[in-house]
Amino acid sequence: MKSIAVAVCAGVAALFVSVGAWAQSVGFTEDMRTQFVSECRQGGGDVTLCQCVWNGIRAEYSLQQYSELSNSYATQQLHPNMVRQELIVANCKGDAPANGRYPAYTVQNFNTGCQGGGVSTAICSCMIDRLQQSVSFGEFVELDLMSAWGKDSEHHAYARMVDAAQQCVAANR
């Protein structure tokens, strides 16, 4: 269920770790921007998206927050700025969540990953619809990260995700 934005974020996690402490002492630099954009591109983002996300990070995060985020990715622990970063990505894509609905690219990436796992289109579509009704976008981002880390069952919204899956399987027999 890993979205491309989360993949981009995960792809730059190593960058966060390596430059987080350094950034704390010297500030955001051109070298950091260049490295961020390069790592972001390796994670699947295009230049425009990566540059936009970098600009959003610089505008939204203090160096302390950036350092804390770096440490959270390194230790695979949730941090509120992870959701905030996903919102920066959504805004850069012109696709911010609205009216309780996830960004279109998040829905598309969920369906692609779900179907890639051998689940039918009907069940995947049903699941994302139910999740949007019962799991906030922030919780969904956290679940997605925790899933990538093999820790999704530890999240407080995990039971709602399982419930959505079970209901959709039952409804599409």
pLDDT tens digits along 11-50: 444 444 444 444 444 588 888 889 889 989 998 889 999 9
Report how far residue 103's alpha carbon sits from residue 40's, in angstroms, rounded to the nearest whole number.
20
**Tokens in use for 160?**
């709602």
List the domain boundaries for the chain: 4-92, 104-171
- Number of C-alpha atoms within 13 angstroms, CB side, residue 159? 1
Q: Hunting for tokens 């959701």 — which residue is that? A: 83
Encode pLDDT of 52-109 as tens digits: 999 999 998 887 888 888 789 889 999 988 998 889 999 999 888 888 899 998 999 9
Residues 70 and 45: their CA atoms lie apart, in Å, by 19
Quick one: CA dihedral 129, 135, 138, 143, positive or negative? Answer: negative
Which of 99, 92, 64, 93 has its CA nearest to residue 79? 64
Tell me, letter by letter, the H, E, C secondary structure of 61-76.
CCHHHHHHHHHHHHHC
